[in-house]
Structure 1
Amino acid sequence: MAYRINEDECVACGACEPVCPVECISEVAEGKRLIDEDACIDCGACAGVCPVECIDPVE
């Protein structure tokens, strides 16, 4: 399983990017972030620091 950022709810704070141990979060248009689901190791670190709780597991 992996995690996904809801782009509509993301406020582009960047809190998630530095906590990712495999560096699978990158900045995309307008400063928002995207998770490479193939590289994600499902650790949940990003979801734990998101202030708007817009990062959820992919089902």
Structure 2
Amino acid sequence: MSDQHESRWSLVHTGNRVFLAVLAGVLIACLCGGTDLPVGTQFVILLVVGGVTYALVTLLHRTRR
């Protein structure tokens, strides 16, 4: 078994996956900001999109091993 050095920019690192999830959530929340949705709803959308993004990236990473 060979140890390959993973790039620090890869999604192997949990911090990178969290950053991607937050970025996706903020992007979607900003797009919803142009609508008449209440701030609470926008915050819930941010959390849901961030959580789903993190879960998908983590699952995809684990299935590639």
TM-score tier, shorter chain, comes to: 0.3 to 0.5
TM-score by length of 2: 0.30
TM-score by length of 1: 0.32
**Greater Rg over alpha carbons, structure:** 2
Task: Please state which structure has a larger fraction of its residues in helix.
Answer: 2
| Greater relative CO, 1 or 2 (CA 8 Å, sep 6+) | 1
